[in-house]
Structure 1
Amino acid sequence: MAIATPAKRGLTRRQLLVRSASTAALAGLGSLARPYLSRAADRPQIAGGIQSGDVASDSAVIWACADRAARMRVECSASESFATILRTASADALPDRDFTAKLLLDGLPPGQDLFYRVRFDDRDGLAGESRVGHFRTAPDDRRSISFVWSGDVAGQGWGIDPARGGMRTYRTMLNDCPDFFIHSGDHIYADCTVPSELKLPGGEVWRNIVTEEKSVVAHSLAQFRGNYKYNWLDDNFRAFHADVPMFAQWDDHEVTNDWSPIGSADDTGYDEDGTSRLVARARRAFHEFMPMRLMPERDGRVYRKIAYGPLLDVFMIDMRSYRDSTWNKQGDPSEACILGATQLAWLKRELVASNATWKAIAADLPIGLVSLDAIALGDGPPERREHEIADLLSFMKRAGIRNTVWLTADMHYTAAHHYDPNRAVFQDFEPFWEFVSGPLHAGTWSPGELDNTFGPKAMYQKGCSAEQGDNLAPCFGLQFFGRVDIDASTEVMTVTLKDVDNRDLWSVDIAPRPDARPGQIMAQHI
């Protein structure tokens, strides 16, 4: 059965190109690298760019960063000319948040392309520069949806090389005109430095933009903040985030490699309550720079549900904040966890309550790829962290929760995994799909090993070859993202794995038929 690709809506390609050029002109690389040499000293300026996130049917979070203490002013309109203003709001950008500011715009119309204008005013009311961004609110009716996802940015020393186009995958995703973007984690590599040069095969040289904060492994709050600021030096990154709202989650490199709440510390150690100071600094910087809704009742953790109309609920889960220590294997195996009892109970409740056709579970890590830091440890029945996944999957079967897909990154290659109890050691679950994508802009790795606990089969995978070796530079084209389209008329979900040059590598259509087994394959396209 042929499925038509849903029509792209909203901004035209010309509008995107015009605004992208405007954004680049307003925030050129030179002004970002040397803000006080080229800017008017008496007016507040936007440091980096603007972005939106956690878009719902009637609201969105707006974020920006100033170059000094100032008041962020935001206007929202259905017209790019701002002839009519729908909403206005303001928030302070203060030193204790590194001059970042974010606010919630509410009372917005559903399913609309909206434009927002951001500026900073100083304490005397002197207005600074303004920039314009765009987002689309979630629909409250049945209409086609498209979104993209990926992860892993500026890792393994591969920073911004302007001569090689910078972070090109962001420009490619922008040209795809998605409704929103799920960032699956590793927004930064706080534990990886960015050197001025890296040698490439054949004698060429990769030349990075370098900053003081990205020249050392992050330990201080200023260094964690500097990791996020580094990404804003890229033209493609700024243009994309101004026009596409982001649903953000984190993984390990926002803190340090393989971190968990217990066992991750720097030389200053822990506070009296046992809190890791390194994790606390990293968590603070993450929330300062992400366009996320504030959820103080969850102690800074990032799990949440984002409803995107009748066809889609997105469940953003947190596989870091509750996990047991990766390196401590001496304790009771039954106490090992990846989600934690509180989050697992929340996820079950929300899945049961969801009336959306599709339920996308956005995860930090894949389920069946063998890794000491992840979930799967090798073939056999569930052990350690796999017990939580087994519990969740069997619950979903008993509760009749269908039409779920798992989306993730982390592995630095792209793959489509189909899980089937007929291939599994643990069999108390319904078949489902898991799709892996990334890196957005980092080293590429070769495909990993799958275990048989939940019966995954790699239907497609692409990464480095043995001849190329791991940690292949971004300039070799093996940078990946995924695209999801949900057709309003058929409710079919089409998942396409794509590369930095926007080539369709592999695609599958999945039908949510009530009379068919969940996750039934309709067609695969190579």
Structure 2
Amino acid sequence: MVHTPLDRRYFLALAAQTAVAGTLPRSAWGARALHHDPFGLGVASGDPSPDGFILWTRLLGDGAPLADTALPVRWEVAEDAAFRRIVQRGSAMAMPELGHSVHVEIKGLPSGRWYHYRFHHGAATSRVGQARTAPALQDLPARLRLVFASCQRWEHGYYAAWANVAREAPDLVLFLGDYIYEYATPTDPMGLARVHALRHASTLADFRDRYALHKSDPQLQTAHAACPWVVTWDDHEVQNDWAGTTGRWDRAGFADLRNAGFQAFYEHMPLGAARLAGPGFAALQLYRRLAWGQLAQLHVLDGRQYRDRQACRRANASGAGAVPAGQCAELEQATRSFLGGTQERWLDAGLAQDAARGARWSVLAQQTLFSPRHYPSGIQSTDTWDGYPAARERLTASIARHTPARTVVLGGDIHQNYVCRVPKKAQALEGPAVASEFCGTSISSRSGATQVKLDAIVRRNPHILLARCGERGYGLAEITPTLWTTHLQVVQDPMRMDSTVHTLASFVVEPGQPGPVREA
């Protein structure tokens, strides 16, 4: 089946009808119902607002792709798990152009409440998921319980972390990138937790298969069903270390790959039509703001789509690598950007808005380590913010202008836990800090570093309070108006589905006191 790019206006028209009960014509229900359970990828909700949220599911065939035809899906939102008090219901078409995914935009609900939802197709009913609306903008909730996580390579470990996330009962999950990995299973499976038979992803069909693989995991499905997710991407949703319009392939070939990765990401995430920046899937606007009343403003960032190519990166290189400090003049170019000029200005305006409205916490949800790392070897990473020092200085200055001492930066990507005082100047690591940073380890992906190397980095970087590479897991933040507490939750054995999870360390941040403090 050939998939042509979707016209944005056409899809917006489709998306607009999905949250309105009774909008499907009677003829839509003439499609032959499936005779198996089509909800094998589970359900999800996302992007809570004070009056609604996004609901997601995708229909699957019974061992073979579904026919190239639209299929009707009914949905319900209720106040109770038994669906005796239904507050909204409606219907939508699962379109083949979108891989038979459904994105329902719920609006008009009271703020600050939990709801249950489910989908139906024919006689089949999905599992029940939980979603919630955000607090009203003028409210100051007593608490936000937030999980942040990233990097879940299938072969490197089971998803016991996600099972424990569901038990944590968070209000929200922030997923910061690398939901899938595009690679084929290594030819030598020694030391892997599990394997798959999929080839290296390069087409839309490949990416759809890869998401279906990950979403088939029951522990990941349980975490999605437990609460709303707010998602952004990093590199492996397309290609390792891609940057803007640059990948390993020629520009035209990479554009096709990127479009396929973008479309598959949209099809499998609880995202609304507002994220489409078209034409087709040539762009997705993932940077956005979500307010949690007066307690926190979440600035969700996209550090891939708009960034400049990594400094001194070789043509057709498989990754960005690192360079000796002082031997790459491109690193110091003032115009180079990690976020792109438009997103930089948007974020600066958002931090100014936080200051004006008195938000207790400004949260930067982005992909990788923000704080500087000076390596004993003298090399400098080019794919993290270290590779974009002028852009980091501009953002640090924006934080210092608008929201000093109440900004928390969250990151992932590097498969290691880092806790840092964000210095006002990267050249003055022991100088004043302007923010706190928690860069979390991976859900399952291996680190590739050694603790000896990280300990040497800590000795040279006094603003780094903790650096660990031996654990996998996630971060759990408990946020109140007067205190931010982060628990680094780590998996005892990532090679076991039933592994326990424990707290590696806990840190607190107080408004007005930039920099985390370790709890005893």
TM-score range, shorter chain: 0.7 to 0.9
Partner Cα distance (2:235, 2:93) in 1: 30
Partner-residue secondary structure (3-state), 2:41: strand
The equivalent residue for 2:502 is 503
Q: Deviations over 1:314-369 (max 9, x none)?
A: 11111101111122678692332111110000001111112321111011111224
- For the aligned residue pairs, the C-alpha RMSD in angstroms reads 2.8
CA drift of 1:91 comes to: 2.4
Alignment equivalent of 2:171, drawn from 157, 179, 198:
179
Q: Deviations over 1:482-513 (max 9, x none)?
A: 1100135xx2111111112331211122111x
2:162 matches 1:170:
yes
Q: Structure 1 residues 496, 83: CA separation in 2 closer, same or farther (over 3 Å shift)? A: same
The equivalent residue for 2:246 is 263
* Partner amino acid, structure 2, of 1:519: P
CA drift of 1:196 comes to: 8.4
2:63 matches 1:53:
no
* Partner amino acid, structure 2, of 1:444: S
Q: Structure 1 residues 371, 45: CA separation in 2 closer, same or farther (over 3 Å shift)? A: same
Given that 1:493 and 1:510 are in contact with CA atoms closer than 8 Å, whether structure 2 keeps it comes out as yes
2:347 matches 1:347:
yes
CA drift of 1:221 comes to: 0.8
Partner Cα distance (1:145, 1:119) in 2: 32
Given that 1:117 and 1:132 are in contact with CA atoms closer than 8 Å, whether structure 2 keeps it comes out as yes
Instruction: Describe how 1:106-255 pairs up with structure 2 within 5 A.
Output: 106-120=107-121, 126-140=122-136, 141=139, 142-154=141-153, 157-158=155-156, 166-190=158-182, 192-194=183-185, 198-200=189-191, 206=192, 208-211=194-197, 214=198, 216-255=199-238
Alignment equivalent of 1:309, drawn from 267, 289, 293:
293
* Partner amino acid, structure 1, of 2:347: L
Partner Cα distance (2:39, 2:229) in 1: 19
CA drift of 1:409 comes to: 0.8
The equivalent residue for 2:446 is 443
CA drift of 1:199 comes to: 1.6
Q: Structure 1 residues 429, 389: CA separation in 2 closer, same or farther (over 3 Å shift)? A: farther
Given that 1:510 and 1:520 are in contact with CA atoms closer than 8 Å, whether structure 2 keeps it comes out as yes
CA drift of 1:262 comes to: 2.8
The equivalent residue for 2:384 is 374
Partner Cα distance (2:193, 2:386) in 1: 37
Q: Structure 1 residues 147, 398: CA separation in 2 closer, same or farther (over 3 Å shift)? A: closer
Partner Cα distance (2:425, 2:204) in 1: 49
Given that 1:249 and 1:318 are in contact with CA atoms closer than 8 Å, whether structure 2 keeps it comes out as yes
2:92 matches 1:91:
yes
Partner Cα distance (1:353, 1:252) in 2: 30
Alignment equivalent of 2:514, drawn from 504, 519, 523:
519
CA drift of 1:261 comes to: 2.3
Partner-residue secondary structure (3-state), 2:501: coil
Q: Deviations over 1:390-422 (max 9, x none)?
A: 112112223355400000111111121112348
Given that 1:265 and 1:276 are in contact with CA atoms closer than 8 Å, whether structure 2 keeps it comes out as no
* Partner amino acid, structure 2, of 1:317: L
Partner Cα distance (2:393, 2:430) in 1: 9
* Partner amino acid, structure 1, of 2:296: L
The equivalent residue for 1:278 is 257
CA drift of 1:219 comes to: 0.8
The equivalent residue for 1:291 is 270
Q: Structure 1 residues 150, 341: CA separation in 2 closer, same or farther (over 3 Å shift)? A: same
2:444 matches 1:463:
no
* Partner amino acid, structure 2, of 1:253: H
Partner-residue secondary structure (3-state), 1:116: strand
Given that 1:416 and 1:459 are in contact with CA atoms closer than 8 Å, whether structure 2 keeps it comes out as yes
Q: Deviations over 1:66-119 (max 9, x none)?
A: 124412221111111111211123322111111111111111121112101112
Given that 2:334 and 2:391 are in contact with CA atoms closer than 8 Å, whether structure 1 keeps it comes out as no
Given that 2:50 and 2:134 are in contact with CA atoms closer than 8 Å, whether structure 1 keeps it comes out as yes
- Return 5+ residue gaps in structure 1 as ranges: 1-39, 121-125, 160-165, 201-205, 378-384, 465-477
Partner Cα distance (1:429, 1:459) in 2: 15
Partner-residue secondary structure (3-state), 1:48: coil
Under a length normalisation based on structure 1, what TM-score does the superposition of the two structures give?
0.76
Partner Cα distance (1:396, 1:438) in 2: 25
Partner Cα distance (1:245, 1:324) in 2: 32
Higher mean alpha-carbon deviation, 87-96 vs 342-351, is at 87-96
2:388 matches 1:393:
no
Aligned structure 1 segments of 4 or more residues deviating by more than 4 angstroms: 328-332, 426-430, 447-452
Q: Structure 1 residues 146, 456: CA separation in 2 closer, same or farther (over 3 Å shift)? A: farther
Partner Cα distance (1:421, 1:348) in 2: 16
Higher mean alpha-carbon deviation, 406-415 vs 331-340, is at 331-340
Partner-residue secondary structure (3-state), 1:231: helix
Partner-residue secondary structure (3-state), 1:396: helix
CA drift of 1:52 comes to: 0.6
Q: Structure 1 residues 264, 422: CA separation in 2 closer, same or farther (over 3 Å shift)? A: closer
* Partner amino acid, structure 2, of 1:250: W
Partner-residue secondary structure (3-state), 1:431: strand
Q: Structure 1 residues 391, 170: CA separation in 2 closer, same or farther (over 3 Å shift)? A: same
Q: Structure 1 residues 373, 229: CA separation in 2 closer, same or farther (over 3 Å shift)? A: same
Q: Deviations over 1:150-192 (max 9, x none)?
A: 100116x426xxxxxx3111001111111111111000111x2
CA drift of 1:135 comes to: 1.8
* Partner amino acid, structure 1, of 2:87: L
Q: How many residues align?
A: 434
Q: Deviations over 1:246-302 (max 9, x none)?
A: 110111111111101232154xx444xx97211111111111111123333584131
Given that 1:51 and 1:291 are in contact with CA atoms closer than 8 Å, whether structure 2 keeps it comes out as yes
Under a length normalisation based on structure 2, what TM-score does the superposition of the two structures give?
0.77
Partner-residue secondary structure (3-state), 1:288: helix
* Partner amino acid, structure 2, of 1:117: R
